[in-house]
Amino acid sequence: MQDISYEKSFNLFLKNTNEKTIILKFINKNVKLDKKNSFLDIGGGDGTLASVIAYKVKDATIIEPNYFFVKKIKKIKNINVINDRWENVDLKKKFDFILAAYVVTYFSETKRKLLIKKMYKALNVGGKIIILSVDSEKGSWRKIHTFFYKLMNHKHKSSDKKLKKIVKNYCTKTKTFKTYVVTKNIFKMLSILEFDFLKYPNEFKKYKKNLAQFLSKYQNKDSSITLEMVHNAHIIIKNK
């Protein structure tokens, strides 16, 4: 996937969702942060979440492989950024709060368990990790994804179910929350969906009409479209 097109489509998604506001509220409610805490954001994207959290903590670090995101992050005050993948970094320090928002799905299947263990190793005693993922079944956002994979005859393996099994190895509390993606019309929602379907450009073109028809079920009276996302938040605690 081209880093630049990923960054562009991600921006489009961000403009049309309340996701970041809801996540920040969720973090505020579930993690106590103060100026003694070190914060690590794995796969921090453009730094939207970290830029807010950074004000509450002693130091903030983002691990982000996409250079176009890193260029943006470098402009934010109070954040250290490492332009690499989580599997490649060797950090000398530990953290009190680690966030891994929608990144585990990008880890190779064979390395997922190990890379979560690496997060746990990087956590201070008394600290918390929050791993966020989109539920593999619930919510209309997921439903349109499943519909697209069916049209393509593609057996899509959701990372979310496996993640649920992996986090059971730790002291974990799982919570859920909902967010919404809202666009003015079907056409706009289709351009946002291209964000998640960047890997399948030809199939996206081929099935665009079918997707539009599917989306019409979620059309509001004013022609706007609302899709619901159901998120799982795995909160891992290190007690000793």
Ligand X SMILES: C[S@@+](CC[C@H](N)C(=O)[O-])C[C@H]1O[C@@H](n2cnc3c(N)ncnc32)[C@H](O)[C@@H]1O
Q: Applying CB under 6 A, which part among 31-39, 45-53, 150-158, 222-230 lies near ligand X?
A: 45-53
Closest CA to 120 of 69, 86, 147, 160: 86
Among 8, 56, 58, 85, binds ligand X (CB under 6 A): 85
Give 1-39 as a DSSP string: --HHHHHHHHHHHHHTB-HHHHHHHHHHHH----TT-EE
Tokens encoding 96? 């009190």
- 81 lines the binding site for ligand X (CB under 6 A): no
DSSP 110: T
Q: Specify the 3-state DSSP secondary structure of 155.
A: coil
The smaller minimum CB distance to ligand X, of residues 47 and 127, is found at 47
Q: Applying CB under 6 A, which part among 24-32, 61-69, 142-150, 174-182 lies near ligand X?
A: 61-69
The smaller minimum CB distance to ligand X, of residues 20 and 224, is found at 20
Q: Applying CB under 6 A, which part among 53-61, 96-104, 176-184, 203-211 lies near ligand X?
A: 96-104
- 43 lines the binding site for ligand X (CB under 6 A): yes
The smaller minimum CB distance to ligand X, of residues 51 and 186, is found at 51
- 63 lines the binding site for ligand X (CB under 6 A): yes
- 106 lines the binding site for ligand X (CB under 6 A): yes
> Closest separation between CB of residue 63 and ligand X, Å?
5
Tell me how far the alpha carbon of residue 79 is from its chain's centroid: 19
Rg from Cα positions in the chain: 18
Place of tokens 């998120």: 231
- 103 lines the binding site for ligand X (CB under 6 A): yes
Closest CA to 210 of 118, 134, 148, 140: 148
Give 39-100 as a DSSP string: EEEET-TTSHHHHHHGGGSSEEEEE---HHHHHHHTTSTTEEEE-S-GGG---SS-EEEEEE
Q: Applying CB under 6 A, which part among 81-89, 117-125, 155-163, 227-235 lies near ligand X?
A: 81-89
- 69 lines the binding site for ligand X (CB under 6 A): yes
- Residues in contact with ligand X by the rule CB under 6 A: 42-45, 48-49, 63-66, 69, 85-87, 101-103, 106-107
